[in-house]
Amino acid sequence: MMMIVAIVALGALAGASGLLLGFAAIRFKIEGDPVVERIDALLPQTQCGQCGYVGCRSYAEAIAAGEADINQCPPGGQGGVAALADLLGRDPKPLDPDLGPEKPKMVAVIDEQSCIGCTLCIQACPVDAILGAAKHMHTVIARECTGCELCLAPCPVDCIHMQPISPTITTWKWVYPAAEARAAA
């Protein structure tokens, strides 16, 4: 008799717990992964693919899934690595040198004299920052250009070159002390 009471009592307790957890699983269901959004927000959105993923979004998903490391984004630079490390609670590490050096922010410029209007660079641009039509001169919308350099390779006449953006009075940012940058590295 005692044994049956014990079995029933524990069974009821376990059953009630199971129901509670089942309810909680439905009530607190996760749609999507909000961490991906926050990682994506930190990435520079150049969509350059230097990290080995098709774009910033898929790199963010790979970081969140633990497949990619946080030091694979040269456009984001050391500051970007530090920001990712801070967000994810990991230790910052130096940028992966195999993926290219950290460059200043640049914008693509088309030499309009030599452009033959082949539209190849338009197809390569991940952010639709190149305007033009077949057999017509193309141009880059500088405000939209992320400086990803993906349009350089397909150009048959090599009329696109990268120009560093010199800081203007509205875009200039305070330069961090060197000691702080070294500590982050």
Partner 1 sequence: MNEYVLILISTILVNNYVLVKFLGLCPFMGVSRKLETAMGMGLATTFVLTLSSICAYLTDHYLLVPLGLEYLRTIAFILVIAVVVQFTEMVVHKSSPLLYQTLGIYLPLITTNCAVLAAALLNVQAQHGFIASALYGFGAAIGFSLVMVLFAAMRERIVVADVPTHFRGPAITLVTAGLMSLAFMGFAGLVRG
Tokens read off for 9: 């009592």
User: Does 14 interact with partner 1 (rule: CB under 8 A)?
Assistant: yes
Residue-by-residue DSSP string for 38-70? HHHHHS------TTSSSSHHHHHHHHHHTSS-T
Query: How many positions of this chain bind partner 1 (CB under 8 A)?
Result: 22
Which region among 3-11, 108-116, 152-160, 161-169 touches partner 1 (by CB under 8 A)?
3-11
Least distance (Å) from partner 1 to the CB of residue 10? 6
User: Does 67 interact with partner 1 (rule: CB under 8 A)?
Assistant: no
**Residue 146 neighbours by CB under 8 Å, 6+ apart:** 44, 45, 46, 47, 48, 75, 126, 127, 129
Do residues 106 and 147 touch, judged by C-beta distance below 8 A?
yes
User: Does 65 interact with partner 1 (rule: CB under 8 A)?
Assistant: no
User: Does 21 interact with partner 1 (rule: CB under 8 A)?
Assistant: yes
Contact string 23-62 vs partner 1 (x = CB under 8 A): -xx--xxx--xxx--x------------------------
Q: Which of residues 38 and 105 has its CB atom nearest to partner 1 in the complex?
A: 38
The Cα 24–Cα 99 span in angstroms is 44
Q: Which of residues 7 and 153 has its CB atom nearest to partner 1 in the complex?
A: 7
Find, among 131, 185, 119, the residue nearest to 157 by Cα. 119
Which region among 5-13, 77-85, 111-119, 132-140 touches partner 1 (by CB under 8 A)?
5-13
Do residues 165 and 134 touch, judged by C-beta distance below 8 A?
no
The DSSP symbol for 163 reads E
In the region spanning residues 81 to 120, those forming contacts with partner 1, defined by CB under 8 A, are: 87-89
Least distance (Å) from partner 1 to the CB of residue 88? 7
Q: Which of residues 35 and 116 has its CB atom nearest to partner 1 in the complex?
A: 35
The Cα 76–Cα 56 span in angstroms is 11
Binding residues vs partner 1 (CB under 8 A)? 2, 5-6, 9-10, 13-14, 17, 20-21, 24-25, 28-30, 33-35, 38, 87-89
